[in-house]
Structure 1
């Protein structure tokens, strides 16, 4: 059966994802911005879970071009993930032309390997959706393989993966079991069957639903822009049921 990774941004999401049967978690903060590095307190809570957790290391929103100070922050996040006992990392970096910054990624991969050796257990490595900005995704995939990444999280170059299924299928075929292609962005119960037809073995989804209406005061002060989105155990379970039925 294909694996379901659920991306979560708060402690309630951790519990809901596990309750619903998620196979793995991506841990982040600020999902509305595409995800940022989560706080240490949330990392500690996630480390106690019975399923693997991968940490998103992204120091700010915006592009994926990082200066030395920002790159050092990601290196510290890699160390924190290893020391907390998390299973893996989600990282990515770009050059000015949108291609992967292989030099910086190589430094982070080497650092992750060293931290894994220190603790006696390797860190799994996922290349995040900086991949989707690459002008030549086939070349970017070869770079990721050469660097030693285990998987690529991608929507195959479109904002929503359901709009790029032919390209996704081509990536899966080109990967040829050398690296895992994990489909993400807009994955839900309606789009999942068609996504699975591309041959992907892993899917990535938030499985969130609106909790309630945003409060007038919160919106006035810009503390909230709309209904709060929360991870739904029922949605996770439904996605898992679809995976079981299709595989």
Structure 2
């Protein structure tokens, strides 16, 4: 059975994803920025509520080229996440040319030894997907989250299929970006991946006028929909 991972960035999203039947939760903050490291409180809640959860380790928005300060912060985050007892972490680091930063990833992966480790969509920047998959295997990752280097997973099916073939069961290729109840069957009909990843979100209600006026609102903020999670879960099971 294909595992369903849902990314959430608040307590309500965690509850909605679990109610909809998510098999695993990816914990983040600020999904509208592509997902940053979650708050300690959200990680603690997931440790109590979720059977399986992994926390994003990404200290800032933007690219995945990290300096020494970023690195120190990420190592501290991994230690704090480990202490909660949740299953794993979601990691990534790039060189300026888009290739995986093997040196940084090796340090991060070692710090997370014994935990589940997902290589995130920094892999969608690489010039050679097959080479990157081999690198991820060598570093001990058990999962790669990727859209196949495209804006959405349905657009990146050729690369997803190639990555799945190169992985050859040594790790799981998990399709993400544009994954929903409509596109999931299309993806799985082409390549039977071990996992799919989605947000299953809908626009969040607008905050009050004063909050907007003072700049406290995020116009791109969304919220997890239990209905959409359940529909995606059903589409996977039907396939």
* TM-score, with structure 1 as normaliser: 0.92
Q: How many angstroms apart in 1 are the aligned matches of 2:93 and 2:221?
A: 29
> What does the per-residue CA deviation read over 1:1-25, in whole Å, with 9 as the maximum and x for residues that have no partner?
2110000000001111111110000
Structure 2: 5+ residue stretches without partners: none
Instruction: Identify which of 101, 117, 121 aligns with 1:125.
Output: 117
Is 1:242 matched up with 2:235? yes
How far off is 1:223 after superposition?
2.4
Is 1:171 matched up with 2:163? yes
Query: Against the structure 1 CA distance between its residues 147 and 227, is the aligned structure 2 distance closer, same or farther, given a 3 Å change threshold?
Result: closer
Q: How many angstroms apart in 1 are the aligned matches of 2:160 and 2:229?
A: 23
1:52 maps to what in 2?
52
Q: How many angstroms apart in 2 are the aligned matches of 1:185 and 1:130?
A: 13
Q: How many angstroms apart in 1 are the aligned matches of 2:168 and 2:182?
A: 27
Instruction: Identify which of 162, 168, 173 aligns with 2:154.
Output: 162
Instruction: Identify which of 194, 213, 216 aligns with 1:220.
Output: 213
CA contact (8 A) 2:129 2:159 kept: no
How far off is 1:213 after superposition?
4.2
1:62 maps to what in 2?
62
Q: How many angstroms apart in 1 are the aligned matches of 2:156 and 2:220?
A: 29
Count of aligned positions:
238
> What does the per-residue CA deviation read over 1:32-64, in whole Å, with 9 as the maximum and x for residues that have no partner?
100000111111111101421101000001110
CA contact (8 A) 2:57 2:74 kept: yes
Q: How many angstroms apart in 2 are the aligned matches of 1:205 and 1:38?
A: 17
Q: How many angstroms apart in 2 are the aligned matches of 1:62 and 1:172?
A: 27
SS in 2 for 1:204: strand
How far off is 1:211 after superposition?
3.5
How far off is 1:105 after superposition?
0.6
Q: How many angstroms apart in 1 are the aligned matches of 2:208 and 2:198?
A: 27
RMSD of the TM alignment (CA)? 1.4
Q: How many angstroms apart in 2 are the aligned matches of 1:29 and 1:227?
A: 13
How far off is 1:227 after superposition?
6.7
CA contact (8 A) 2:175 2:195 kept: yes
Q: Counterparts in 2 of 1:144-159, with a 5 A limit?
A: 144-159=136-151
CA contact (8 A) 2:22 2:229 kept: yes
CA contact (8 A) 2:145 2:175 kept: yes
* TM-score, with structure 2 as normaliser: 0.95
CA contact (8 A) 1:154 1:184 kept: yes
SS in 2 for 1:224: coil
SS in 2 for 1:170: helix
CA contact (8 A) 1:212 1:227 kept: no
Q: How many angstroms apart in 2 are the aligned matches of 1:229 and 1:104?
A: 32
Structure 1: 5+ residue stretches without partners: 114-121
How far off is 1:233 after superposition?
1.1
